[in-house]
Structure 1
Amino acid sequence: MKKILLLLANGFEAVEASVFTDVLGWNKLEGDGTTEVVTAGIHPQLTCTWNFTVLPEKLVDELDLTEFDALAIPGGFEEAGFYVDAYDERFLNVIRHFDDNHKPIASVCVAALSLGKSGILKGKKATTYDHPTSIRRAQLQQYGALVQNELVVEDGRIVTSANPATAFQVAFLLLEKLTSSSNTNKVKELMGFI
């Protein structure tokens, strides 16, 4: 069984988290059956960007990170307090652990800024929120990332993306990294994507 840590910051976007639970959940029941998602956060209760409350299964401080095979992180909104948790050293240390152990890391939208703040994107290709009015790409560049004008960017085992619309693509890329192209295509077909 491949265990995926879904790391949630207060103020995360529910839709960006749900793609991981859905894609990897579909795989568990209808695909090759090898994926299990565990949610974790710094707090025992989290509030999503649009004010809905979530109870993560584990607290970050309780985790044995060696049990996990991959990391997934949804983005969120500054106005909802996302960066308070996403830039917390406990949060960043989880990211560093996965990078140090050469495990897949998948992020959606501004979650790439957590990766950048952790230091793991120095000299690596990446992207983040791409709206013309946003400063997020410039912020990501300040962390040493080689910012790409792409919707989804893979640099080795790290995946970053430009907006919430890319979330399913990121989740499927993570599933492919953990299983296979043929299994991922089977799950995509069952979910109506192909």
Structure 2
Amino acid sequence: MKKVLLLLANGFEAVEASVFTDVLGWNKWEGDGSTEVVTAGMHPELHCTWNFQVTPEVQLDEIALEEFDALAIPGGFEEAGFYEDAFSERFQKVIQHFAFHNKPIASICVASLMVAHSGVLYNRKATTYNHPGSKRLEQLKQYGVRVADERIVCDGNIITSSNPGTAFEVAFKLLEMLTSKEITNQVKELMGF
């Protein structure tokens, strides 16, 4: 069984988290049965962007990172307090652990800024929210990242993406890294993609 840690910062976007639970959940029940998602955060209750509330399955300090095979991180909104958890030392250490062990890290939209903040994207290719009016690509560049203005960027074990519209693609890319192209295509077909 491949265990995926879904790391939830306060202020995350619910839709960006749910693609991981859905795609990897479909694989668990309808694909090869090899993936399981565990949601974790630093608070007993998390407020998503626009106040949708979620209770993570576990608190971050209750788990052993060694038990997990991959990390999935949804983005969120600064106005909803996303960067307070995202840039915290505890979250940064989680990202560094997965990077050090060369395990897959899948991030959607501005979650790549969390990854970059940890130092693991230095001199690597990545992207983030890329709307023409946004300052996020420039922020990413300040971390020493080789910014690519593309929908999705894969650099080794790390996936970054440019907006919420890429969410399903990122989740499928993570599934492919954990299983195979064949299994991923089977799950896509079952889900109507």
TM-score by length of 1: 0.99
**5+ residue gaps, structure 2:** none
Are positions 1:96 and 2:107 aligned together? no
- Mapping of residues 63-142 of structure 1, within 5 Å: 63-142=63-142
List, as ranges, runs of 4+ consecutive aligned residues in structure 1 with deviation greater than 2 Å.
Answer: none
- Letter of the 2:149 partner, please give it: N
CA distance in 2, matches of 1:108, 1:30: 24
- Indicate whether 1:44 and 2:44 are aligned: yes
Structure 1 residue 48, shift from structure 2 partner = 0.2
Give the AA of the match of 1:16: E
Letter in 2 for 1:10: N
Find the residue that maps to 2:49 and give its secondary structure. coil
For residue 160 of structure 1, report the CA deviation from its aligned partner. Answer: 0.1
Shift of 1:153: 0.1
Instruction: State the distance in 2 between where 1:149 and 1:171 align.
Output: 19
Correspondences of 1:20-59 after superposition (within 5 Å): 20-59=20-59
Matched, 1:12 2:12: yes
Q: Cα offset for 1:79? A: 0.2
Aligned to 1:176: 176
Read off the aligned partner of 1:5 and give its amino acid letter. L
Query: What is the alpha-carbon root mean square deviation over aligned residues?
Result: 0.4
Partner of 1:149: 149
Once the 2 structures are TM-superposed, how far is the Cα of residue 62 of structure 1 from its aligned partner? 1.1
Looking at structure 2, the residues matched to 86 and 42 of structure 1 have their Cα atoms a distance apart, in angstroms, of: 10
Unaligned runs of 5+ in 1: none
Letter in 2 for 1:143: Y
Q: How far does the alpha carbon of each residue in 1:54-76 deviate from its partner, in whole angstroms, 9 at most, with x for none?
A: 00011111110000000000000
One-letter identity of the residue aligned with 1:69: D
For 1:7 and 1:81, the matched residues in 2 are separated by 15
- How much identity, in percent, do the aligned residues show? 70
Q: Give the SS at the match of 2:4.
A: strand
The count of aligned residue pairs is 193
The alignment partner of 2:141 has SS state of helix
Q: Secondary structure at the match of 1:50?
A: helix
Q: Distance in 2 between the 1:89 and 1:183 partners? A: 36
Deviation at 1:50, TM superposition (A): 1.4
